A and B are shown apart, each in its own frame.
Chain A
């Protein structure tokens, strides 16, 4: 089996384990390249349908192209789309640096959605390679009542046996593409013909490697105007994927603080 097929098989296995073990599930759909691959994998796992809602926690500040993408493919892929708005910035921890505080709105919005729907499992498209703290994650990652993550107290996970019994009120984050890399995502997107938001492709010497809120996400210098060119570019770059995400760079621990309080 080639590498992409191996990754795909493992992700499908994880989706099916999550679906078998938990009752109230949703897939966190950020509209980015990773969560689109997740939706594709879910459709493969369940033979064409996504048997749980796709939840978009909406800051209201995404790029117009992202909203257009969401509305088109929610219909085309027959998704059960849930859109949850985020609270205003004033509701968010004022001690966080500005961009992190802005990003933390999404965490608050997610908490509201959790309370509203009572989900016990959320499929999330994080990858170990994209950010240092994410490298520590489990595939089935328990979250406290407040949605927080305790890196010190993670149960063991081996041989694809997962801890799937969240305590009452808590929930599990399930990470079907934790073992993928950025390059894998693009190679798979190309192989499968998965649609993408055009902002990922270079225009006028710039493109987005990672898509967040329009006001705190910046493009990187790039000439890659096709997926093939992106893959070649990634082979040679030494720039981190999230370098265009302002909140990652405000202080040494900003991202980890976001994670501990429930940010993806």
Chain B
């Protein structure tokens, strides 16, 4: 439809915007198919004087020739294929202006099978109009689109309730829908700036109020559009410059990329993540006149820099401020929408893109897989097409990542299968790397107990610098009912929240795999403890804080575990005095430790207090960095 409208309005829009006089806002209109998006757009173009002379007349003539009544949506159906099919296929871009704003209007199809096109459109938008048919009310696709606006990070949303003429401009009907959709959006963290009753076909509420909606005191659609703000530049956040390439066309080594957030200046010290190497900015390169090279650059600019030292960096690395750097993460949790026909399942191997970085990833877990369109979401174990899921992904190598809440631009994740983009969403949190991928420590790191020379690319200091702690084994022990499981998770959460790499080894979970061959006998129990202790010690040597939650009633078994664990082994006794009655008949008697590293009264103190005490134990022992003392200074297993 650009041919229909741009010659009249796009050029002045661009010219005025180029002069910096008027804000340019990219908006998207979303909602259920047939709720009237195309009609509203046609009407908006007409009401804002954006149609070329004679266009309306010629379209009306075409309609008459085809024997169809004229529809406003014909303005958008410029493609013959669309007219034949009767639905809008794809995102396309239309320009128009209101009294104080210039708009690029991105149309996005409401038809479910074109969700990928709706996302393509909506992801570019600064603001959105969600359209609802007053006669049909809130539909699954309405809710789904609302959810996607949340996932895509579109924060400015207004609702238009269309086809009020079909419900006789009934205020109560309007109020009911207004309440329903507002609740849905607010639950997603989206506060609609207006809910406007309109008839796009007749024009009520679009550019002016009418007697038929006299009961409505709020803004018209055009007034609502006028209050949308352009997407803001993210200068105030910390520097994030994802590297697109390193060019060596001549004797310069130019690091090229677009600044996503923050700013950079010649002389700044920067850190390259995930490697953690630092350098200073020597120059910001410029063509065609190198002499005019700027001394500083800001969010949104595509730049090239040179550095003062020859550190290795490549596409996918992130140039960052030293003080506030992204994490090097190999395991992350994300909330994603999924567009591929085949459901996303646990164990799936996919390509993960974050910024300009790309690596293989495995889906380790799926939680909360739902159809965002349904009212009562039923949870599933796979993410079906057009559904949303919270997923844990293990990456084949660490990438520089920010959680979405920290940086909305670099906290985005895109998933592709065989080069075709299949999903995307927000990085919710960064978890510890998975045990299976952790190599043992090497030279300079802590010595393994039996003096074996284990090979690793990383030193203990490198690992500690990232996680903020050295490796350790926290062995929880207590009688049945003493609350070790809840305690293990609370400690895990605390360490994770301070940026660490905790991992829980849970006896029941390991019984089905690692220890499946062991019987319920004293010998079986002893071997269970030995295997878990070996596993824990191995992980601790690789920098994890391993929290062991396994029934270990025998003092002798625990002593053997301590011998395996070595110096970084901490026995924590959870003592719920008086609760020992809960012991099942036939269970081996619990042997209370004589000299635990820490004794907790889990009956008297609450969970957080107990977890805090464990954290303090690790600080005192020098496992966790505290104050000016680096992690692991005194530590060796």
Contact = CB atoms under 8 A, between A and B. Distances in A.
A68 interface: no
B11 A5 contact: no
A130 B93 CA distance: 11
14 contacts: A12-B302, A20-B315, A43-B288, A48-B249, A129-B10, A136-B90, A151-B89, A154-B117, A158-B424, A159-B424, A161-B414, A161-B416, A181-B6, A183-B18
Contacts of A6: 300
Contacts of B11: 181-183, 231, 234-235, 237
B395 interface: no
Nearest to A128: B93
A241 B7 contact: yes
Contacts of A238: 7-8, 52-53
Contacts of B120: 138, 156-158
B420 A46 contact: no
A239 B52 CA distance: 8
Given A132-B1, A158-B123, 7 more contacts: A19-B245, A47-B287, A48-B287, A152-B81, A157-B421, A163-B421, A252-B80
A156 B119 contact: yes
A197 interface: no
Contact of B18 (A3, A16, A43): A3
Given A3-B18, A47-B249, A47-B287, A151 B302 contact: no
Contact of B418 (A10, A46, A152, A165): A165
Nearest to B62: A252
A164 interface: yes
Interface in B1-53: 1-4, 6-8, 10-15, 17-18, 20, 24, 52-53
Using C-beta atoms within 8 Å of the partner chain, give the interface range for chain A: 35 or more
A181 B78 CA distance: 18
B204 interface: no
A183 B10 contact: yes
B420 A155 contact: yes
B518 to A, nearest CB: 47
A159 B125 CA distance: 10
Contacts of B79: 132-133, 136, 151, 256
Interface in A207-264: 231, 234-235, 237-242, 252-253, 256
B258 A46 contact: no
Given A46-B247, A155-B420, A131 B3 contact: yes
Interface of B: 1-4, 6-8, 10-15, 17-18, 20, 24, 52-53, 78-81, 89-93, 95, 116-117, 119-120, 123-124, 152, 233, 244-245, 247, 249, 252, 254, 256-258, 285, 287-288, 298, 300-302, 304, 315, 339, 353, 356, 412, 414, 416, 418-421, 424
Contact of A45 (B7, B252, B302): B302
A1 interface: yes
Contacts, number: 179
B249 A132 contact: no
B508 to A, nearest CB: 41
A246 to B, nearest CB: 15
Contacts of B81: 151-152, 256
A232 B120 CA distance: 33
A5 B19 CA distance: 11
B301 A16 contact: no
B302 A13 contact: yes
A244 B140 CA distance: 46
Nearest to B412: A159
Contacts of A132: 1-4, 78-79
A19 B119 CA distance: 25
B80 to A, nearest CB: 5
A234 to B, nearest CB: 4
Contacts of A17: 244
Contacts of A138: 120
A141 B494 CA distance: 47
B473 to A, nearest CB: 41
A135 B1 contact: yes
B439 to A, nearest CB: 30
Nearest to A5: B301
B3 A16 contact: no
A129 B2 contact: yes
Given A128-B2, A181-B11, A237-B11, A4 B18 contact: yes
Give the top 3 A-B pairs by smallest Cβ distance, nearest first: A165-B419, A158-B123, A156-B116
A136 B114 CA distance: 13
Nearest to B121: A158
Contacts of A20: 244-245, 315, 356
A49 B285 CA distance: 14
A156 B91 CA distance: 10
Nearest to B256: A16
Contacts of A154: 90, 116-117
User: Most chain-B Cβ atoms within 10 A of its Cβ — which of A51, A164, A235, A239?
Assistant: A235
Contact of B20 (A3, A19, A237, A240): A3
Interface in A24-48: 43-48
Interface string A138-174: 1000000000000110111111010111000000000
